Amino acid sequence: MKPTAIRKLRAKLARDECVCGLWVTLDSASITEMAVAAGLDWVVVDAEHGHLDWGDLVEHLRATVRSDTVALVRVAELNAGLIKRALDIGADGVVVPWIETADQLREAVAFAHYPPRGRRGIGAERATCWGQRVAEHVAEAEENVLVVPIIESVAGGRSVGELLEVPGVDIFQFGPADYSSTAGYAGHWEGPGVGEAIRAASKKIRGRGKHCGVLATSNDNLIERREQGFRFLGLGTDSGLLIRSLRSAQGVAHGDEELPPFDVELPRVRQATPLLDRPPESVRPDRPEVMTVVGEGARYELAPDITFEALVGRHIGARNLTAGVVTFAPGARLPYHRHTFGESITLLAGSATVEVEGRVHHLDALDNVTVPRGLAHAVVNTSTSEPAVLHVALASAEPSRELVEDNFSRLSKSYDATGHPGGERVTRVRTADRYQAGPGTSFVDYVNADLMPGIEFSGGYGAFQPGGRLPAHFHDFDESITIIEGRATCIVEGRRYVLADRATALQPRGRVHYFTNESTSPMAMIWFYAGPIPERVVVDEACVTETGDLWRIA
C-alpha cells in the first residue's frame, strides 16, 4: 500500500481536480510501468474480465511501487476472499462491480477493513512485508484503503441515495455498458436515456461532496465527461488506446489508400463461396424487383426548401425499409426530430452537418451518420450558395417523425470523432475499414448490429473497378441499392438492368441477383438491408441466369 499516493489522489479530488488513469487488461507489467512513467494518478488492473491471473496482478502492482500512481484491482465480484487477496498482494484498494444496494456496499467496505470495523483477515503477504510489518500496515490500511463501487445497473442508479449513506466510500464508478443492458439496450455503450440517468445520479453524488468516475471512449468523450463533472477519469483501456492509436496512424500512413482490415475473421457479408445450389422454398419471393430513376420516386416536402424523394418504400412494395435522396436548398435546415426507428444519412454532394442532441458532425462527401431510434437530430446545409444532396435510409417502410424542441447545447465534434457511445455512429469513408465483397470491389460498412447493437438495419458503401462484380446471391430481407457514381449493371434471375445517376434498385427478399461494372470507369453504390446483419447467401451462378428460370416469374 502507498499511503502517500492515496492521500495525494484524495487531495486532488478535494480540490475538484481531475485524477486520470488507465484501465489495464493486458498481461505485460510494462504497461503499468509506462502509466507510472507518464505520471498517471491511478491504474485499475482488471481481474473481472479477460485473462489476467494472480501472477499477472502482482507484477502490475509491483510496477507501481515507490510511485505516486495508485494501484487498484477490479475484483470479479463482491467476495470477501477476492477482496482480501487483492489487498494482501499490495493493491491500494479495490473496485467492486455490480453494486446495487447499501447492504452490498457495506459488505464491500467491511471486507476491505480489519476488525473491529470490518472482516478482513491478516495475511503474511506483500502488503504486510511478509508478516514483518503487520501493525504498521493495519494502521495504514484502516485510514487509506480505497473501496470504489461500480454502479452499472438501473437498480444501482436508483439506489444512489442509499449508497451515499454508507461510510468509507469517496469514489463511485459508473459502467454505462452494463447499465444500458439492464435498461434494455444490451450491447450499447450508453443506450437511450442511460446517459441522462447516469448524469442525474452523478449530480447527487457530487452534491454530497463525493466523486464520480467513468471510462472515456475517445478524446472528445473525455472532454465531455470532464465537463459533466466526472473527476475520476479513465483515459481508456490499454488495448483500446493501442487500437485507436494504430488505426489513426494507419490512416495517416495510407492516405487515400485502403486500410488493411483489422479483423482477422471475415464478416458474414463477405462470403464468396457458393453455399447453396439454389435458394430454399422458404424464401420464395412474392414481389418483383423494382428499378426507380430519380424524378419518378415519391416526393415529400420535409421543410421549406427541403425535398425528399423516396426511391424505395411502401409505394413500391418495400418492407421495413425506405431509401432515397434529400435535396437541401442553400442554407436550409431540417429541424430537430426523432423517429421510432433508425435512420442513416450519407452526404452525396455539397456540404452539411448532422446534429444529434447538440453534437455537431461536419460531413465530407460519402461520410455517414447513423442515428438510432429515439435520438433527436437535425440536418443543415452549411453552404449559403450551393445545394446539398444526401442519401437517407430508414428502418421502416412507413416513416414518420416527431418534431422536437431545439434546446440542445452545441458541441462541435472533431473530424476523427466516430460518434457518441450508445448514440449515433459516424463513419468517415476516407479512413474507414474496407473489405472485398467480390473481385474488383471495395466495401465500407456504415452500420449493422455488430457495429451498433440494437440497430434494425444495415448498410454501407461499395466501389467497383471496371470488371468488378459480386457473386450471385440473395437475402432474407429487402435491399435497396443506389448507384451514386458511374454506371452499374444489375442482373436479377436473367433480367438485365442498367442504372446510373442515383437510380435505385429494390431487391425483394429471396430474389437472386448481382451487380457488376461493365463500363471502363469506376462505379459506386450505397446499399441498405432491411435486416441488422448484412448476410448474403451466395448461390450457384445458374440461379441468376435466364435459363435457370429460378422462380418462374412472367
Look at residues 276, 258, 253 and name the one whose alpha carbon lies nearest to residue 436.
258
- pLDDT > 90? residue 55: yes
Enter the DSSP assignment of 44. Answer: E
Look at residues 268, 476, 300 and name the one whose alpha carbon lies nearest to residue 399.
300
Q: Indicate the CATH number of 268-544 among 3.40.30.10, 2.40.10.10, 2.60.120.10, 2.102.10.10.
A: 2.60.120.10
Buried b (16+ CB within 10 A) or exposed e, 186-201: eebbbbbebbebbeeb
Question: Yes or no: is domain 3-246 CATH 3.20.20.60?
Answer: yes
- pLDDT > 60? residue 267: no
Cis-peptide into 116, omega within 30 deg: yes
| pLDDT of res. 30 | 97
> What's the order of all strands across the beta sheet hosting 359-363?
402-403, 333-338, 377-381, 352-356, 359-363, 411-412
* CB within 8 Å of 355: residues ≥ 6 apart: 336, 361, 377, 378, 379, 380, 408, 410
Q: Does residue 476 contact residue 531 with C-beta atoms inside 8 Å?
A: yes
**Among residues 49, 113, 391, 420, which one is catalytic?**
49
CA-CA distances (angstroms) from residue 366 to 297, 363, 424, 457, 461?
22, 8, 16, 19, 8
* CB within 8 Å of 172: residues ≥ 6 apart: 148, 149, 151, 160, 163, 202, 205, 210, 211, 212, 213
**Model confidence pLDDT, tens digit, residues 350-381:** 999 999 999 999 999 999 999 999 999 999 99
Give the residue extent of every domain in the chain. 3-246, 268-544
- pLDDT > 50? residue 268: no
Q: Does residue 455 contact residue 522 with C-beta atoms inside 8 Å?
A: no
Higher pLDDT, 218 or 322: 322
pTM, 2 dp: 0.55
Active site residue 49: yes
| pLDDT of res. 526 | 98
Report residue 84 as a C-alpha cell. 482480501
Look at residues 460, 470, 485, 461 and name the one whose alpha carbon lies nearest to residue 440.
470
